[in-house]
Structure formats: structure tokens, C-alpha cells
Structure 1
């Protein structure tokens, strides 16, 4: 079985390794161009290694179920590119606690990562390479980017902004205690819109183009909408728990898996 797993994951190896190499090159470029500190550089390196490890393990477990894909796939390459950008954002955010971070570079990396979120799903559908792994990979990148942007805004706005980035992880943890929370949710355009809004608002607030009170008001509004969205879904899951055709049979995906659903590429027609 171990030999078979090594054989199955072999086609994906070069992509993951190349992605790690590009991540390290980006970090070195940031060090030379914007003076990335040692803390920021090391944080980025940890992110790169962790990404390599997690992707390798995930591919080993899921490749036999990936619909016969013979390569990493263009959609996953787009998501990997987004991951590299998020690694750069993570390094700059870690750097911001030691010195003044070049905001323009941080915002540019985060903005491109958010824009590309609309690309990988389209590529997956058009190339017929939609997989559960691709959807989960995309979702984890989105969720982590939101969390990192929240960390960046702690200093100017306060620790309360972490509620946005941590909400999805708290929901997942709660689903381990109350399994009915891991039920599937029906498609919701409102949920997708609220989720997409989080990244936009956080990037604008981080860019410093708004006065601090206005930025705080915008972020608090985004948080209120996110609480409403999660609350509505929790209420729906509670009402249909244990019913035939309830969460386990519904046509959506688990919010516990998707987290911020509008920002994930789904494993199906709505990916």
C-alpha cells in the first residue's frame, strides 16, 4: 500500500516542490527589495514548509479518488500561486510587528490573491478537474488569508477583528462537539456575498485609505454580516438535524469544511 501511495502521488511532486521553491524566491525578493526582517523571512519559510507537508499528505490520501487526474491540474496550480502570495502576506504581517511594513506591497499581494480566487474555480470547471481536494485546498487558502489580514489589523483596530478570521475555525471545532453542525448546507447567494465581502473590507482597511474610525466601522459591519450568515446557517442546521433528507442529504457542502463558502471552489457544479 505504501508503494502504491508513493506511485499515486508522484505526478504531483514537481508542482508542490516548484511551488515551495517559488515561495522561497518571493521571500528572498521581499528581503532584498523591502527589507523583510529575519522574523518575517523565517515565518514565510515555516509557511512554505508547512504548505509542502500538508499538500503532500493530502495528495497521498486523496489522489486515488481524484477522478483519474494524471497531474496536479491547472486549477490547483492557480490555487498554489495564490498560496505563494498568501505566504508573502504572512511574512509581511509577521514583519509588521517589528517595523513599518510596506503597506502597498502587502495590499497588492493580498488583492491579487483575492482576485485569483475567482479564477481557479472557473478553470476547474472548464477543464473538468473539479475535485474535493481542490475545493478544500482553495478554502484553506482563503480562510488563512482572512485570518492573517485580521492579525495585521489588530494593532490599528484592536483584537476584536480576530473574530472574523477565527469564526470559521471556531465553527469547525464546534462541529467536533456537535456533529449536526457538520451537515451540508443548501446553496446561498447571500452566504457567498457576505463571505466575499470579508476579504474586500479587510484589504481596504489594511490599505490605510480610510480614516481609522471609518475602517473600524467597515470591519465591524463586515463582522456583523458574518455573524448573521453563520447564525442563519446554524439555525438551519439545528432545525433539520436528524431529519430524513436533512443536513446529511442536502445539496450543499459542509460549512465546517468550507468555512467561508463564497471564497471556496466547491467539489461539484457550484465549486
Structure 2
């Protein structure tokens, strides 16, 4: 029999899906008279929000916490950003304040869900994984939105984590666990901040481009450091399989 917690989780997931479809539909068709582009924009937003919805529905046991609901809200907001990015990529429209404002809210909420999880004692691997996936999706969306204005090199910010995950399928050493790092969290937050700053209509490309470039350099160095640490840990484990490996 389905528990109350499982039913509540199902309701939370359904609410996020409905909010994504309804809000994304309004945003798309209010700004794009072309039905094909509007449908593509809605689909892009729903696809991003689905990351959070599917994460909840796949849990065993199925449960959501207050922190999870905040993360689901971020998933919906990131989906709205994706919807508003489609006319930038397809229709050549410039980024607007609506995209930036929604992106800022999603960015700020990123500092809320983790804190709420710790304060309420509901920290979980599922919640942390969903949070990380939404972070990555938002960065990919923002880097896509910035690409026509700043250059397609900005996609490196959004794609880097996905390339790293793909590489870990080929090189198992890269699938190891990394210790939490304040520097890594700061650099990750700096990517979203730099992209949102550059997307602001009041900021010229000549000012936004170097800010995003610096953020990309920091991100690249962070990934290089993490790869080096993972490879070193892997070599220690191979050379000393029965001993302790210092992180």
C-alpha cells in the first residue's frame, strides 16, 4: 500500500510537472507567435523540469522533504529559463530581463535547499544528486543563452560536467568520490553569476565576455585539479589495494 509520504512525493512531482507545462506554455506563446517555436520552447522547459520530477519518482522509498520541494522549484525555474532561451537560439531575440530575473531566483535558491536540508536533518544522497543535476542543467541553459551574444565557446561552461561524466564511463578512475570543497562550490557559483551578469541587458558584451572567460578558466582549472586528485587516488588504490587511501 502506498504510504502518505509516497503520495505526497507523487503530488510534489505532479505539481512541478504542471507548473512547468503551464508556466512554460504561457512564457512561450506570449513571446513567440510561431507555434512551432513555441512548442519547442515548451518542450525544452519541460525536459529540464523533468530532471527533478524523474529524480523524485525513481526514489525508493519515494519521499520528498522541504529541501526537495525547493529543489523542484529550482527545476521548474531552470525549465522556464530554457523556454526563454529557445527564441534566443532560434529566433535571434536578445536575452531579456525576464530570463535574467528567473535565473537569479533559481541561482539564489541554490543556497537555500542545501541549508534547509542540513537544518532539518534531511540530507540525503538522492537530494544532493538532484540538486547537482539541476545546477548542471541551469548552467547549460545559461551558457546556451549567452552563446549567440558572447560566442559559442561559452557552451564549454555548460558542457564541461557532462563531458566529465562521459569520460568517467571510459576511465573508471574519474568516477571516484571527491571530498567536499568550498573552492569547488565557489567556482561553481561563479559560473552562474558570470553568465547571469553577462546576460543582463544593461551589460554590454565587451564587459560580460571577459567576466565569463575568467569564470571558464577557473572552472577548467577546478576540473583539472579534480581529475589529478582522482587519478592520484586511483593509483594509490591500485598500488596498495589492501591499505588505506588518504583522500
- C-alpha separation in 2, matches of 1:124 and 1:150: 28
Q: Following TM superposition, by how much is the alpha carbon of 1:21 offset from its aligned partner in structure 2, in angstroms?
A: 1.1
- C-alpha separation in 2, matches of 1:29 and 1:62: 31
- RMSD of aligned C-alpha atoms? 2.8
- C-alpha separation in 2, matches of 1:50 and 1:196: 19
Residue 196 (1) aligns with residue 189 (2): yes
Counterpart of 2:229 (choices 214, 228, 236) is 236
Taking the TM superposition and a 5 Å limit, the aligned residue runs for 1:1-271 are 9-31=6-28, 34-35=31-32, 37-38=34-35, 39-48=37-46, 51-52=49-50, 55=52, 57-59=54-56, 61-64=58-61, 71-96=63-88, 97-100=90-93, 103-244=96-237
Report the TM-score when normalising by structure 2.
0.86
* 3-state SS of 1:145 partner: helix
Aligned in 2, Cα 1:249/1:131: closer, same or farther, shift over 3 Å? farther
Q: Following TM superposition, by how much is the alpha carbon of 1:208 offset from its aligned partner in structure 2, in angstroms?
A: 3.2
Asked if the contact 2:28–2:42 (Cα under 8 Å) also holds between the matched residues in 1, the reply is: no
- C-alpha separation in 2, matches of 1:85 and 1:129: 23
Asked if the contact 1:148–1:165 (Cα under 8 Å) also holds between the matched residues in 2, the reply is: yes
Give unpaired runs (5+ residues) of structure 1. Answer: 252-271
- C-alpha separation in 1, matches of 2:24 and 2:58: 30
Asked if the contact 2:154–2:212 (Cα under 8 Å) also holds between the matched residues in 1, the reply is: yes
Q: Following TM superposition, by how much is the alpha carbon of 1:182 offset from its aligned partner in structure 2, in angstroms?
A: 1.1
Q: Which of 1 and 2 has higher RCO (CA within 8 Å, sep 6+)? A: 1
* 3-state SS of 1:186 partner: coil
- C-alpha separation in 2, matches of 1:236 and 1:163: 22
- C-alpha separation in 2, matches of 1:180 and 1:219: 30
- C-alpha separation in 2, matches of 1:44 and 1:32: 9
Aligned in 2, Cα 1:188/1:200: closer, same or farther, shift over 3 Å? same
